[in-house]
Amino acid sequence: MSELKILIDQLQNAALNPGEAVEKAVKAAGKEAVGCFPIYTPEEIVYAAGYLPVGMWGGKTEIKQADKYLQSFCCSIMRTNIEYGMNGTYDSLKAVIIPAFCDTLKCVCENWKVAVPQVPVIPVVYPQNRLIESGFRYLIDEFNRVKNEIEKIKGEIISDEKLEEAFDIYEKYREKMREFTEVAKDYPVTINTKVRHLIIKAAYFMDKELYTDIISNIISELKNMPAEEFKGTRVVATGLIGEPVELLDVFVKNNVAVAADDFAQESRQFRVPARQEGTAMEKMAYRIVDQRGCTFLYEEEKTKGKMLIDMVEKSNSDAVVVIMMKFCDPEEFDYPVIKEELENAGIPLLYIETDMQMDSYEQVRTRVQSFAEMLG
Boundary of a domain, candidates 127, 149, 171: 149
Same domain, 83 and 181: no
Asked whether residue 376 falls in the same domain as residue 238, the answer is yes
Q: Is residue 135 part of a domain?
A: yes
**For the domain that residue 108 is a member of, what is the CATH number?**
3.40.50.11890
- Say yes or no: 235 and 371 in one domain: yes
Residues 109 and 214 in one domain: no
- 22 within domain boundaries: no
pLDDT per residue as tens, the chain (376 positions): 599 999 999 999 999 999 999 999 999 888 999 999 999 999 999 999 999 999 999 988 889 999 898 888 888 899 999 999 999 999 999 999 999 988 888 888 899 999 999 999 999 999 988 999 999 999 999 999 999 999 999 999 999 999 999 999 999 999 999 999 999 999 999 999 999 999 999 999 999 999 999 999 999 999 999 999 999 999 999 999 999 999 999 999 999 999 999 999 999 999 999 999 999 999 999 999 999 999 999 888 889 999 999 999 999 999 999 999 988 888 998 999 999 999 999 999 999 999 888 888 899 999 999 999 998 7
User: Is the residue at 218 inside a domain?
Assistant: yes
Q: Decide which of 149, 178, 198 is a domain's last residue.
A: 149
Assign residue 177 the CATH number of its domain: 1.20.1270.370
Yes or no: say if 181 and 257 are a contact pair by the CB < 8 Å rule: no
What pTM did the predictor assign? 0.95
pLDDT of 1 reads 55
Asked if residue 103 and residue 169 are part of one domain, the reply reads no
* Co-location of 209 and 285 in the same domain: no
Q: Is residue 253 part of a domain?
A: yes
- Do 70 and 134 belong to one domain? yes
Is position 199 within any domain?
A: yes
Residues 238 and 318 in one domain: yes
The residue range of the domain holding 331 is 231-376
End residue of a domain, out of 86, 118, 149:
149
Are residues 370 and 355 located together in one domain of the fold? Answer: yes
Residue 257 shares a structural domain with residue 373 = yes
Angle at which helix 208-223 crosses helix 160-184, to 10 degrees, equals 30
Residues 6 or more apart whose Cβ sits within 8 Å of residue 168: none
Q: Are residues 180 and 59 in the same domain?
A: no
Q: Assess if residue 24 is contained within a domain.
A: no
Number of folded domains that form the chain:
3
Q: What is the CATH number of the domain that holds 268?
A: 3.40.50.11900
Residue 287, CA atoms < 13 Å, CB-side half-sphere: 23
Angle at 306 (CA atoms; ends 301, 311), nearest 5 degrees: 145
Say if residues 223 and 337 touch (Cβ distance below 8 Å): no
What distances in angstroms separate CA 247 from CA 146, 244, 266, one per listed residue?
Answer: 36, 6, 16
Do 287 and 260 belong to one domain?
yes
